[in-house]
Amino acid sequence: MDNLPLKLIDQFGRQVDYIRLSITDRCDFRCVYCMAEDMTFLPRDEVLSLEECARLIKVFVRLGVTKVRITGGEPLVRKNALWLFKEIGNLTGLNELVLTTNGSQLNTQAQALKNAGVKRINISIDSLKPEKFKQITRTGRLEKVLDGLQASIHAGFEGIKMNTVLMRGHNDDETTDLVQFAIDNKIDISFIEEMPLGEVDHTRESTFVSNADTLKLLQSKYLLAPSTHNSGGPARYWQVSGTQTKIGFISPHSHNFCESCNRVRITCKGELYLCLGQEDKVDLMPLLRENPNDDGPLIQAILDSMRIKPKGHDFDLRRAEPAVVRFMSHTGG
Ligand code: SAM
Ligand code: SF4
C-alpha cells in the first residue's frame, strides 16, 4: 500500500479510471423501462451513508480514478446529497465530477451543484409532451424538469446533455422533436438503447428501437458529421452541422463497447460491479464498516477485483428473462 500511486488495470489491460456511484435506489419517478410500478426500496441502514460514499470516492481517486459520476435512483432526492458534492468537488486528481439526474430537483439545486464543482450533467428527458412524459415516468411532471433544465443552462455547467430512451409505440415519434429541442437549447442529446435490466411490465423486445434506425432517420433530416468527441463513455457522437449540438448513441446491442470499457459501478449498497451486464461483484460495505480507520483492506479488495472484471456483457433481447435481475436504478445508470 505504501507504493501508491497504484492503478486499476484489469486482466485485459484496460485501465479503470471512471466510477459511477449510485447514492440511492429511491426515485420520485417510476420510468416504465427502468422500474416496475411497485418497487420495494432498501432500508436506510443497508445503503451507504454519504460519509461512506465520500470515503469510497477518495479511495478510488487515490487509485487513479479521474472521473466520478453520481447517479441513482434519483441522486438529488437523497437528503443532503449536496454535502457529498461539496466534499468531493475539489479533490486533487479528480478531473471530472458529473451527475445523471431526472431533473426534477434542478430548479432549486442546479446553481449549488455547479458551485460545488459539478462539471457536466445529464438530464433524462424522454418526451416533450406533458401527457406522454407522465405516462413514461408514471409520476413525473415535464414542466418541472424543463424548469430544471433552464436553471442548469443558467448556472453555466461546462456541458449539459439530454438522455433519451426511445421506446417503440411510446415516444419514437418524437425523435426529431427531441433533437430539435436540444439544438434550440444549445445542448447535446444521447439516445440510449433500452437494456434488459430488471423485470418490468413489458417485454423489452416489444419496445426496442435500435440506434442504427434512429441514426438513419436523423441523417435524413440533418447534416451529421462523425465527431471525434470522446466523453470517456461508450457513446459515439455526431455533430449536427451548423449547430452546437452533438448527438450521442449508446448502443449496447448494435455496437458492443466493452473493448474499451474503462469504468466500474458501485451500487448504493456498496457493491462494486465490474460490468453493468454481468453479475461479478465485490461487497465493499463490510470492508468500510469493519475498518473505519484503515483503508488498506478496501484498497486491496478493489485492486483484487480487477482480476474478475469480465470481458464484456452479452445482452440478448430475445431471452425471456432479464440479462441481470437488478434494475438500472439499483446498479446506477
Ligand atoms: N434518475 C436518474 C435519471 O433518470 O437520469 C439517474 C439514474 S437512471 C437509472 C440513469 C439513466 O439510465 C437514465 O438516463 C435512464 O434513462 C437510463 N435507464 C434506466 N433504465 C434503463 C434501461 N433498462 N435501459 C436503458 N437505459 C435505462
Ligand atoms: Fe428514476 Fe431515473 Fe429510473 Fe426514471 S430512469 S425511474 S428517473 S432512476
In a domain, 21, yes or no: yes
Q: What pLDDT, on a 0 to 100 scale, did the predictor assign at position 275? A: 80
Range of the domain at 14: 8-331
In a domain, 46, yes or no: yes
In a domain, 263, yes or no: yes
Q: What pLDDT, on a 0 to 100 scale, did the predictor assign at position 4? A: 55
Q: How far is C-alpha 95 from the geometric centre of its chain's CA atoms?
A: 17
Q: What pLDDT, on a 0 to 100 scale, did the predictor assign at position 262? A: 86
Tell me the three cell numbers of residue 279. 453479475
Q: What angle separates helix 211-221 from helix 175-184, to the nearest 10 degrees?
A: 60
Ligand 2 pocket, 329 CB below 6 A?
yes
Q: What is the dihedral of CA 262, 267, 269, 272, to 10 degrees?
A: -20
Ligand 2 pocket, 122 CB below 6 A?
no
C-alpha 35 to ligand 1 mean position (Å) = 10
Q: What pLDDT, on a 0 to 100 scale, did the predictor assign at position 298? A: 97
Tell me the three cell numbers of residue 81. 446529497
In the block, residue with C-alpha cell 466534499: 87
In the block, residue with C-alpha cell 481517486: 61
Backbone angles phi, psi at 294, to 5 degrees: -140, 110
Q: What pLDDT, on a 0 to 100 scale, did the predictor assign at position 259? A: 75
C-alpha 295 to ligand 1 mean position (Å) = 31
pLDDT along the chain (333 residues), means of 10: 72 92 96 92 96 98 97 97 97 97 98 98 98 98 98 98 97 98 98 86 88 96 89 79 96 68 92 81 96 96 89 60 61 61
In a domain, 238, yes or no: yes
**pTM for the whole thing?**
0.92
Give me the CATH number covering residue 19.
Answer: 3.20.20.70
C-alpha 198 to ligand 1 mean position (Å) = 12
Q: Which atom of ligand 1 is nearest to the CA of 165?
A: 16
Q: What pLDDT, on a 0 to 100 scale, did the predictor assign at position 327? A: 65
Q: What pLDDT, on a 0 to 100 scale, did the predictor assign at position 287? A: 97
Residues linked to residue 97 through DSSP beta bridges, in sequence order: 68
Spatial contact of 214 and 166, defined as CB atoms under 8 Å apart: yes
Distance CA 59, CA 68 (A): 12
Ligand 1 pocket, 245 CB below 6 A?
no
C-alpha 156 to ligand 1 mean position (Å) = 24
In a domain, 268, yes or no: yes
Q: What pLDDT, on a 0 to 100 scale, did the predictor assign at position 246? A: 97
Start-to-end Cα distance in the chain: 31
In a domain, 3, yes or no: no
In the block, residue with C-alpha cell 470515503: 55
Tell me the three cell numbers of residue 307. 482480476
Which ligand is nearest the CA of 41, by number?
2
Number of domains within the chain: 1
Q: Which atom of ligand 1 is nearest to the CA of 35?
A: 20
